[in-house]
Amino acid sequence: MAFRFVHTADIHLDSPLRSLALRNADLAELVGDASRQAFVSIVDLCLAERVDALVIAGDLYDGDQTSMKTARFLASQMTRLHQAGIRVFKIRGNHDALSRISKQLTFPETVTIFSGRPQSVLQTAGGLDVMFHGLSFASPKAPESLLPKYPAAREGAVNVGIMHTSLAGSPGHDVYAPCNIADLHSHGYDYWALGHIHLRQVHPGTSTVVMPGIPQGRDVNEAGEKSVTLVTIRDDRSIEIEERLTSIAQFERMNIDLTGTVEWPEVVGRVRSALEDLRASVKSRHAVVRLGLTGTSPLSWALIRDRDLLLAEAEQAAEQTGDTWVEKLELDLAPPRTETVEGVADPIFELAQSMHADASSEAFRAEARAFVHKMIADLPAEGRDFAGKDEVALELFLDRVLASSTDLVTARLKAGGSQ
């Protein structure tokens, strides 16, 4: 006999996709619903594997959710688990702490939502006593470690700790209940079910420490296959973990080198071939691609100038490939270095070099920086992160904008000349 459970976290139901919605409403609708579909697939997995429990280590919600549609959806999924006799153990993460729905929903008695005080719940199944220890946080901020609040391991039982934590820190994630792996191993539990960091991590040792990662990516910064962890505790208390795919839409970055292309159909052919290769490697139902075109080609100015046409061609190729979407098109193209007309330097090319030099000057950057700051101040709060969340990100944003705008001006000036 064995005790089995599925461990997940950071589902972020109904996470808003404002920037994606501005670019492609159909794709935003697909990805916006993907978190729900991923949760359905998690419940499907629990039922198919006939597990004893589902563990949700925080951030089931994305924030201040008030939608009754979300409430009905969750109620129906929890009922499916309840009817199959599958227990649910859930803690609140920093995003759950903001959610009104998380405090108002009533779930079946088989669902345990841990409170702000440490709790331990015993479940006996598969011939094993398994003690689940959990602690929720009522605030979106938790600057201190929560580990000292977790009770000691229960002797004679298999001990599973459920915690929402940033561990020692991770890029792109706020500090939340920080702690280190060594302290988790030394606490005496057999398994730590963690949440908060969206990238899967496994830390074997005295105990098994798993951060399952987000089960459905929301943008290209959460690229790759996304999954949950199926945990099996055997009679001898040994633990086996399996990664199971749950992502409905899989984000990927793909760069295509256009060096040497001289005709537009050749560019489209390379894009189509690359998309077909990517589609063959993606296991999720949908592939969502951030397409980067790089290299040196005499077509560079035409491609930059007619970016909208190029995007339409790429989107058509993706559609014909099947269940494939182009989320965004990025160009990093340059013309051949021999930009001359009858032995005389091309004046537009020289102008481009001059504009690049001017855009790199601190005086010009200072004006551009001031303009962006003024724009940010005039925008509503939810739209102020378009240039990044700090000064380092702002400088990178300026690098991209100044470079691309210079190329665009040059491309439009070249429209009437030879390509």
pLDDT of residue 17: 65
Cα 124 to chain centroid, rounded:
35
Farthest CA pair distance, the chain: 88
Residues 6+ apart with CB under 8 A from 108: 78, 79, 82
Q: Is 287 in the same domain as 233?
A: no
Residue 67, CA distances (Å) to 21, 42, 64, 97, 288 in order: 19, 21, 9, 16, 27
Q: Is 236 in the same domain as 258?
A: no
Residues 6+ apart with CB under 8 A from 48: none
Boundary (domain end) residue, out of 245, 261, 278: 245
pLDDT of residue 375: 81
pLDDT of residue 344: 54
Dist CA 316 CA 150 (whole Å): 54
Number of C-beta neighbours around residue 306 at 10 A: 16
pLDDT digits (tens, 9 = 90+) for 186-229: 999 999 999 999 999 999 999 999 999 999 998 899 999 999 99
Counted domains in the chain: 2
pLDDT of residue 274: 98
Q: Is 362 in the same domain as 228?
A: no
pLDDT of residue 250: 95
pLDDT of residue 419: 42
pLDDT of residue 418: 45
Rg (the chain; Cα; Å): 26
Q: Is 164 in the same domain as 281?
A: no
Using CB atoms within 10 A of its CB, is residue 49 exposed (0-12), middle (13-18) or buried (19+)? middle
The tokens describing 257, both together, are 């080198």
Q: Domain of 106? A: 2-245
Dist CA 329 CA 309 (whole Å): 11
> Long-range contacts of range 43-47, CB-CB < 8 Å, 24 or more positions apart?
43/77, 43/80, 43/81, 45/6, 45/228, 45/230, 45/244, 45/246, 46/6, 46/81, 46/84, 46/86, 47/80, 47/81, 47/84, 47/86
Q: Is 230 in the same domain as 275?
A: no
Dist CA 301 CA 37 (whole Å): 42
pTM over 0.85? The answer is no
Which CATH number covers residue 174? Answer: 3.60.21.10
pLDDT of residue 148: 94
Q: Is 210 in the same domain as 261?
A: no
Q: Is 180 in the same domain as 261?
A: no
Q: Is 219 in the same domain as 320?
A: no
Q: Is 142 in the same domain as 40?
A: yes
Q: What residue type is assigned to position 367 of the chain?
A: E
Boundary (domain end) residue, out of 245, 269, 303: 245
Boundary (domain end) residue, out of 229, 245, 261: 245
pLDDT of residue 18: 58
Number of C-beta neighbours around residue 34 at 10 A: 26
Q: Is 379 in the same domain as 403?
A: yes
Q: Is 157 in the same domain as 177?
A: yes
**Residue whose token pair is 């080609």:** 297
Q: Is 61 in the same domain as 151?
A: yes
pLDDT of residue 237: 94
Reported in sequence order, the residue ranges of 104-213 that DSSP labels E, i.e. its strands, are: 111-113, 119-125, 128-134, 158-164, 191-195, 201-203, 208-211
Residue 76, CA distances (Å) to 61, 71, 410 in order: 16, 9, 57
pLDDT less than 50: residues of the chain: 98, 340-341, 417-419
Residue pair 252/222 in contact (Cβ under 8 Å)? The answer is: no
> CB-hemisphere CA count at 13 Å for 29?
3
